[in-house]
Amino acid sequence: MVLQIIITVGFICWVSTSIMLAATFGAAFAPDKEKIVSRCILSAILFLPALALVPLSFAACTLLITIAFILGITIWGIRTALELLIDGIPEMDDEGNIIEPKSTETNTAPWV
């Protein structure tokens, strides 16, 4: 039941995105209001290529995110990435120096 709902929602999103993409391309190629008939014809013609373009662009975006993640881990390393996740990204000034937060604790002995 849940899988059927997910497939139905995915199909509706796919078709509606394709319709909007085809309408955008149709409006780009026939921008004048007087050319509304040619805009509609171009949108109808471009609907089938848009149906193929939407899943391809989703796959390309997924591949680019995966490649960027792999490159980032390769360049900075897993240890550095884990340290950034645990400690947070440090604040830096204009010259690239790390700004250390000022602590209220003093490192002197209590009797001083």
- What is the chain's mean pLDDT, rounded? 82
Q: Which domain holds residue 78?
A: 2-87
| Structure confidence at residue 65 (pLDDT) | 92
Determine the Cα angle at 24 with ends 20 and 27, to 5°.
135
| Structure confidence at residue 53 (pLDDT) | 85
Q: Which residues lie closer than 8 Å to 93 by C-beta, 6 or more apart?
A: 99
pLDDT tier for residue 20 given thresholds of 50, 70 and 90: confident
Question: pTM of the full predicted structure?
Answer: 0.50
Other CB atoms within 10 A of residue 28 CB = 11
Instruction: Give the C-alpha separation, 100 to 92, whole Å.
Output: 9
Residue 106 counted as domain residue: no
Count how many domains the chain has.
1
| Structure confidence at residue 66 (pLDDT) | 92
Residue with tokens 């120096």, as numbered in its chain: 97
pLDDT tier for residue 76 given thresholds of 50, 70 and 90: confident
pLDDT digits (tens, 9 = 90+) for 78-102: 888 788 778 777 777 788 787 777 7
